[in-house]
Amino acid sequence: MTSETEELQAKEFLKRAEIRTMRKDLLELREGDALKERDKIVKLRTLEEQLDEQKKKNDAVTIAKTEADEEKVQREEVLTKNESQERIAEKDLKNYATEQERQQIFLIESQRLALEKQIDAIDKDKDPALKLEKNSLLLKKRGWQTKLDLVLEQEKKLEDEQKFIAEKAGTSAISAEKKGLEQRRWDLDKEIQEIEKGRWEVEKQMEDVDSKLSLIDKSSGQFSAEKNGLRDKILGADKQLREIYSVIMQREEEKRRGQAQEQMARKEALSKIRAEENEKVQRQQWTHSPIPVPVKKMGINKQ
Q: The whole model's pTM is what?
A: 0.49
Which class is domain 99-264?
Answer: mainly alpha
Cα gap 226→241, rounded to integer Å:
23
Task: Tell me the torsion sign for CA atoms 9, 10, 13, 18.
Answer: negative
Cα gap 168→89, rounded to integer Å:
93
pLDDT tens digit at each of 303 positions of the chain: 445 665 555 555 555 555 555 555 556 656 666 666 666 665 655 656 666 777 777 777 777 777 767 766 665 555 445 556 666 666 677 888 889 989 999 999 999 999 999 999 999 998 999 999 999 999 999 999 999 999 999 889 888 888 888 887 778 777 777 788 888 888 888 888 998 998 999 999 999 999 999 999 999 999 999 999 999 999 999 999 999 998 888 888 888 887 777 777 777 777 778 877 777 777 777 776 554 545 444 444 444
Cα gap 73→80, rounded to integer Å:
10
Q: Which of 103, 96, 99 is nearest to 255 (CA)?
A: 96
Element (H, E) at 256: helix 175-288
With contact defined as beta carbons under 8 Å apart, do 226 and 130 qualify?
no
DSSP string, 44-70: HHHHHHHHHHHHHHHHHHHHHHHHHHH
Q: Which of 93, 113, 97 is nearest to 237 (CA)?
A: 113
Q: Where do the structural domains in the chain lie, given as residue ranges?
A: 13-89, 99-264
On the 0-12 / 13-18 / 19+ scale of CB atoms within 10 A, 244 is buried
Compute the CA torsion angle 250, 252, 256, 259 (nearest 10 deg): 110
